């Protein structure tokens, strides 16, 4: 059995040739419009172009390099070229500042160290817990006198309420005393 294959034209190349012709026509039209001064409202195609630092009129804004953070993980570091300019300006302004201006500075800005203390709060909480323990013992010992038991239970409820308000981290933070080291 014989098989015959007939091709009636090469359609793929015809289509490609038509596309090339249309592109060529568009390019020619655009060239003519440029020469004539028309822009036709079109935005030109954006293109990347390398401009060396010597040819550029702008200085680089900064330099990036690969480094490591405090945990040894890779990190991108930025070297500011204006850093030296800023440092010298800060040194000059510090030299011009009068001696009395140092007294008015914020102590945190000067790098002074402070120590925090929660001793007063802890002592207050210890006293409340001790008072609660004593009230519980008095309630046990006054088991026969109903009126005294009710009075002690009311006082115990007030102490427990105050203790629940003060025996937490928020209260400790609010009442922390800071002193200079």
Q: pLDDT (tens digit, 9 = 90+) per residue, 45-65?
A: 777 777 776 666 666 566 777
The total of structural domains in the chain comes to: 1
Q: Is residue 176 part of a domain?
A: yes
Phi and psi at residue 73, to the nearest 5°:
-80, 150
Q: pTM of the entire structure?
A: 0.39
Are the beta carbons of 143 and 149 closer than 8 angstroms?
yes
Whole domain around residue 164: which residue ranges? 115-180
Does residue 22 carry a pLDDT above 60? yes
Asked whether residue 174 is assigned to any structural domain, the reply reads: yes
Average pLDDT estimate for 66-88: 76
The answer to whether residues 115 and 177 touch, using CB atoms and an 8 Å cutoff, is no
Of the pLDDT bands very low, low, confident and very high (cuts 50, 70, 90), residue 143 is confident
CA distance 134 to 157: 13
Give the span between the Cα atoms of 148 and 139, in whole angstroms: 8
Question: What pLDDT is stored for residue 15 in this prediction?
Answer: 76
Side-chain-facing half-sphere of 124: CA atoms under 13 Å: 16
């Amino acid at each position: 059995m014989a098989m015959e294959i007939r091709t009636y034209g090469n359609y793929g190349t015809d289509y490609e040739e038509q596309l090339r012709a249309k592109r060529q026509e568009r390019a020619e039209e655009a060239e003519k419009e440029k020469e004539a001064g028309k822009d036709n409202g079109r935005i030109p195609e954006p293109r990347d172009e390398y401009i060396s630092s010597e040819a550029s009129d702008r200085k680089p804004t900064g330099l990036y390099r690969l480094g490591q953070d405090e945990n040894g993980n890779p990190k991108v570091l930025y070297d500011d070229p204006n850093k030296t300019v800023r440092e010298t300006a800060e040194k000059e302004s510090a030299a011009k500042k009068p001696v009395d201006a140092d007294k008015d500075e914020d102590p945190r800005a000067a790098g002074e160290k402070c120590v925090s203390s929660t001793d007063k709060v802890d002592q207050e909480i210890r006293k409340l817990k001790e008072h609660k323990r004593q009230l519980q013992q008095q309630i046990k010992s006054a088991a026969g006198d109903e009126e005294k038991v009710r009075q002690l239970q009311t006082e115990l409820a007030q102490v427990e309420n105050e203790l629940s308000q003060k025996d937490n981290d928020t209260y400790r933070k609010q009442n922390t005393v800071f002193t200079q080291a």
